[in-house]
Amino acid sequence: MQSLSFSSSISATKPQWRLTSSPAITFTRRTTKSTVNAKIREIFMPALSSTMTEGKIVSWIKSEGDVLSKGESVVVVESDKADMDVETFYDGILAAIVVPEGESAPVGAPIGLLAESEAEIEAARAQAAASSGSAPAAAAPSAPAAVASAPAPAATPAAVVADGPRKAVSTPYAKKLAKQHKVDITDVEAAAGIAPSESVTPVVTAAAAPPAAKSVPAFAEVPGATIVPCTTMHGAVSKDMIESLSVPTFRVGYPIMTDALDALYAKVKSKGVTMIALLAKAAAMALAQHPVVNASCKDGKSFTYNSSINIAVAVAINGGLITPVLQDADKLDLYLLSEKWKELVEKARSKQLQPHEYNSGTFTLSNLGMFGVDRFDAILPPGQACGAIMAVGASKPTPVPDKDGYFSVKSQMLVNVTADHRIVYGADLAAFLKTFAKIVQEPDSLTM
């Protein structure tokens, strides 16, 4: 057994402590040589929006072997709403492209490999080849395993019917008939001409077959039909529409006279003002007076009064739909709002919108009036801080009675608002629409 003892000696100068051990124990520190391995970094598929789960490679700006600098654009990725350039965070050489143009990858998956120097290029390419070839190889053996692991159906115990007297069970009407016809109800088999068996042999029931899987009803195939795969934006829109079904909504319509608005638009149109800018400005001014319609609810447990009034406007683009956002629409004048809207539309159609330019709306406008649609209902878009969406129809000449009962023809448009009933009630929406109608019918305040 080892023992440790402490002894001390006191001298005139200073105390000295000595640690003795029996037997002696020596401690040594092992030193290791660290080696720096070659650096091969992965370029990951980024999350370009809060709803993005995968991205599609539109084009590689750089080719394999190109020297890259930090912050330089490498690849163009199609997200669920826009095409965006992806930059590199490191200096190096693009050694290998893992995901080629036209293919998709989930968020966080490697799409390319970056080598620190030319010496690591071959190693990076080997790594890319190994990673691309391992996925099919790993998936192949899984099929037999799944078949082998399927449990055999358990044998069902034999059902045995015991011998002995049986109790006849009959309805009151059957008993009445038996009495009328003087038939012994306990011997119905004999009365029916069926000789009862004196003994019953055990009956073995076959094992119940497992229930057949419910098959998904298939649509009848139309001759000559063409199947087109959904784009990334189609998939995102489809997902949003399904999510919107979980929100309890209601709709309120309101007729609005537009003669004064049409006259104002005729004056300012030559200065670059658009009808969308006029409607967005009017909606923003009304929302400032009714903040609950500008609020949003995400979890059903609380709702948020948004500090900004950001008007999102639905725009149809090639292959889908997007909602560019006019931020702080209540604070911008009509002319700046129109310029901003034109910039957003150009970026939307070229798929160059940044995420904050299409997912920060607090209220949404959808206008089909330019197509002659007089009324429609809009779906509340999920994924944004929106509690309501306004569907704007066309302005058309309509006979309208005055307070004395005389008719006159005026331009009138119908607007329908879809709102989240968890935060907005009917009275709230009616008051908002009344204010919005007053601003549209007396539009001088829009130019102030």
Catalytic-role residue among 181, 290, 356, 421: 421
Q: Give the Cα separation of 74 and 95 in Å (integer).
A: 12
From the number of C-beta atoms within 10 Å of its C-beta (0-12, 13-18, 19+), residue 164 rates as: exposed
Backbone angles phi, psi at 115, to 5 degrees: -95, 145
Q: Give the Cα separation of 124 and 116 in Å (integer).
A: 10
- Number of Cβ within 10 Å of residue 292's Cβ equals 18
The residues pairing with 250 across neighbouring beta strands, listed in sequence order, are 419
Amino acid identity, residue 20?
A: T
Q: How far apart are the first and last CA of the chain?
A: 96
Q: Which tokens belong to 183?
A: 């038939």
3-class state of residue 64 by DSSP:
coil
Told to judge if 234 belongs to the known catalytic residues of this protein, a careful annotator would answer no
From the number of C-beta atoms within 10 Å of its C-beta (0-12, 13-18, 19+), residue 365 rates as: buried
User: Which of 107, 77, 49, 56 lies closest to 359, judged by CA?
Assistant: 49
User: Which of 245, 249, 199 lies closest to 391, judged by CA?
Assistant: 249
Q: What residues are annotated to the active site?
A: 421
